[in-house]
Amino acid sequence: MSLPRPSATTTALITGASSGLGREFAIQLAALGHHVTIVARRGDLLDQLAEELNAGDAPGGVSVIVADLSESTQRQALLDALQRNGRAPSILINNAGFSTTGPAAKANGAAEVSMVRTNVEAVVALTVAVLPAMVAASEGAILNVASTASFQPLPGQAGYGASKAFVLSYTEAVSAEVSQFGIAVTALCPGPVETGFAEAAGFTEAEAGVMPKFMWVSPHDVVRAGIDGLVASKRVVIPGAANNVLAHVARHSPRGPLLSALKKYHPSL
């Protein structure tokens, strides 16, 4: 299988493109000739990226749409703007997301709900919004950014781990439903990657650095692995050999001892 070809009436819609993995997805998909539609809340960073892409390697062009994806009205405005632009997403990268940290008993309720809306609700809303046209065209590709946190519960980031478990389960099921129509649906499950993620989650540099060096993969290589996974129509991609092994160990370990160990070593507990 291959990615849908770039065209004048399609776009690669990339959420969370103002930073980190989303920014890298925009760079790599633009270089493949796709028109990219980049979405996030921080419009200044999106404009900066659009300028860089337009000055460099983006033969298909770039559209910027500012939206808070945790808000259903703003998600609808995003879909309306795509229609006005005359471009249907042939590729959807559901990448926007963040983590809260700390014990659930001390959580900020509004932040928890906003995280679930961004990490889960927006992924579902955008997936079901674009799928019918992809099925009708018998062409399309959707990549949902999950995490190695998808493979086991995560004390200290309970809501985040659960949100990413949802993304993994949802993606695998939808993949099974639409693969017969030639549509690739892939869950990308990175381990630690140096992006704005740790700072947005409130980890100090020292706390973020407790993850052993061998687990870290660069944003470029994570995104490369994700795009290669879509091209190969893989259901699940875990970048990095060590992360692959650890994810499988976590998935099959007895929950009691695993949860105790994760709780003991989580920096926020």
From the list 32, 33, 41, 258, which residue makes contact with ligand NAP (rule: CB under 6 A)? Answer: 41
Structure tokens at 204: 């100090």
Whichever of 101 and 118 has its CB closer to ligand NAP, that residue is 118
> Does residue 195 belong to the site contacting ligand NAP (CB under 6 A)?
yes
Report d(CA 223, CA 75) in Å as an integer.
24
Report d(CA 47, CA 65) in Å as an integer.
9
**Other CB atoms within 10 A of residue 51 CB:** 12
> Does residue 47 belong to the site contacting ligand NAP (CB under 6 A)?
no
Which residues within the stretch 68-107 sit at the binding site for ligand NAP (CB under 6 A)?
A: 68-70, 95-98
Q: How far is CA 218 from CA 83, 145, 175, 192, in A?
A: 34, 15, 26, 9
> Does residue 118 belong to the site contacting ligand NAP (CB under 6 A)?
yes
Structure tokens at 130: 């674009």
From the list 10, 19, 90, 171, which residue makes contact with ligand NAP (rule: CB under 6 A)? Answer: 19
Question: Considering only CA atoms, which of 76, 149, 158 is closest in space to residue 115?
Answer: 158
Say whether 160 is catalytic.
yes
Report d(CA 163, CA 146) in Å as an integer.
8
The region of 28-36, 130-138, 191-199, 235-243 touching ligand NAP under the rule CB under 6 A is 191-199
Binding map of ligand NAP across residues 146-175, x = CB under 6 A, - = no contact: -x----------------------------
Q: Which residues are catalytic?
A: 160
